[in-house]
Amino acid sequence: MPAGGRPTVRSRRLGAALKRYREAAKLDQQHAAEHIAGSKAKISRIETGQVSARPGDVRLMLELYGVEDRDVYRKLEQLARDSNKRGWWLDFPWVIKDEGFADFVTLETDATYIRTWQPLFIPGLLQTDDYMRTLISLDLTAHAAEAIDEAVAIRQTRRRVIEEAGARFAAVIWEPALTAPMPCQKTHREQLAHIHNVAQRQNVSIQVLPLSEWRAAHLSSHFVMFNFGPEAAPEAVAYDTTTSTVLLEEPEDVAKHARIFETLRSAALTPDQSLAFIRRSIKGMVESGKESE
């Protein structure tokens, strides 16, 4: 049983991949069970993520299924090794309580390429500490100071995905999320300056969707897409509601969001134009602040 007594997002990803390769080979679960000297029930539990497959069993199954790509072997064997791996987020009680968010952070940590669309907020991986504290202060739920500090610490650690791990990151942000006045102009200005700085990293692409692109902006609410290897197509999509985090892993759902993201990218300003837009916005706030002094 995966850690925590429930299927983990890693064990589900591994099981789903093994099932796809088995079905492509037109073999049933009994064939796989006999090949690894296991039971049909074990194969079923592996494919649904209820148990973690051992790397050796993964290798045997891929051989049986006729998979020749060694990158697939390396990727899935590593996923098998990581299925029960303890993540840094388990040090934070708040994350453990929210299983959906814990799965989201797992995907984010494992990802090699993250794409996000945000029409209302600054994307989480780009948020400054003060911006996040401002958002939390607007929450109708009362938060203890310790809980707020924990939330900020989690966000700081999550930012390492693009700042240290080097995962590729692409964001399309609707103009109002960047320009609508915030309660504190200093927080607003520093948030835009942070985005401008991060956008100049080689692994980061930031694009602003102009306010006038109403049709594109309303194709979908916010979402985040994840890749876990060299593949061009994303492998999972996530979005949060006011009470939970929703994960989509079905290929049809993921492909639909990928098409929406490419439409948004085409309608948005180029990365260079977006940087210029952010600079103008910062300059406008600085000049406005001087006039009000």
**Is the predicted pLDDT of residue 41 greater than 90, yes or no?**
yes
Q: In terms of domains, do 28 and 144 share one?
A: no
Same domain, 70 and 97: no
Is there a single domain that holds both residue 263 and residue 143? yes
Does the residue 274 lie in any domain?
yes
> Do residues 100 and 17 both lie within one domain?
no
Most confident of 89-98, 149-158, 263-272: 263-272
d(CA 112, CA 176): 29
CA distance 129 to 272: 26
127 and 272 inside one domain: yes
Tell me which residue range forms the domain holding 74. Answer: 9-82
Q: What is the pTM of this model?
A: 0.82
For residue 217, the domain's CATH number is: 3.30.870.10
Q: Please check whether residue 133 is in contact with residue 186, taking contact to mean a CB–CB distance below 8 angstroms.
A: no
Among 39, 64, 82, the domain boundary falls at: 82
pLDDT above 80 (res 17): yes
**pLDDT single digits (tens) 180-222:** 999 999 999 999 999 999 999 999 999 999 999 999 999 999 9
- Are both 73 and 95 inside the same structural domain? no
Instruction: Report the CATH number that the domain containing residue 34 is assigned in CATH.
Output: 1.10.260.40
Q: 214 and 243 share a domain?
A: yes
On whether both 162 and 253 belong to a single domain, the answer is yes
Structural domain ending residue among the three candidates 47, 66, 82: 82
Instruction: Count other Cβ atoms within 10 Å, centred on residue 31.
Output: 16
36 within a domain of the structure (yes/no): yes
Q: Are residues 94 and 71 in the same domain?
A: no
Residue that the structure tokens 């916010």 belong to = 222
Check if the beta carbon of residue 208 is closer than 8 Å to that of residue 199.
no
Number of domains in the chain: 2
Is 142 within the bounds of a domain?
yes
Dist CA 76 CA 160 (whole Å): 24
Q: Do residue 106 and residue 186 come from a single domain? A: yes
Q: Which residues contact 49 (CB under 8 A, 6 or more apart)?
A: 2, 7, 8, 11, 12, 13, 14, 15, 16
Pair 64, 133 in one domain: no
Residue 3 is assigned to a structural domain of this protein: no
DSSP 211-269: TT-HHHHTS---EEEEE-SS-SS--EEEEE-SS-EEEE--HHHHHHHHHHHHHHHHHSP
How far apart (Å, rounded) are the C-alpha atoms in residues 83 and 291? 57
pLDDT tens, position by position, 54-110: 999 999 999 999 999 998 899 899 889 888 776 776 667 665 566 778 888 889 988
Please check whether residue 1 lies inside any domain of the structure: no
Closest CA to 88 of 157, 156, 147: 157
By three-state DSSP, how is residue 114 classified? strand
In a domain, 4, yes or no: no
Cβ-Cβ contacts under 8 Å for 70 (sequence gap 6 or more) = none
Q: Which of 82, 111, 134 is the last residue of a domain?
A: 82
Instruction: Say whether both 270 and 148 belong to one domain.
Output: yes
Residue 116 forms part of a structural domain: yes
Establish if 286 belongs to a structural domain: yes
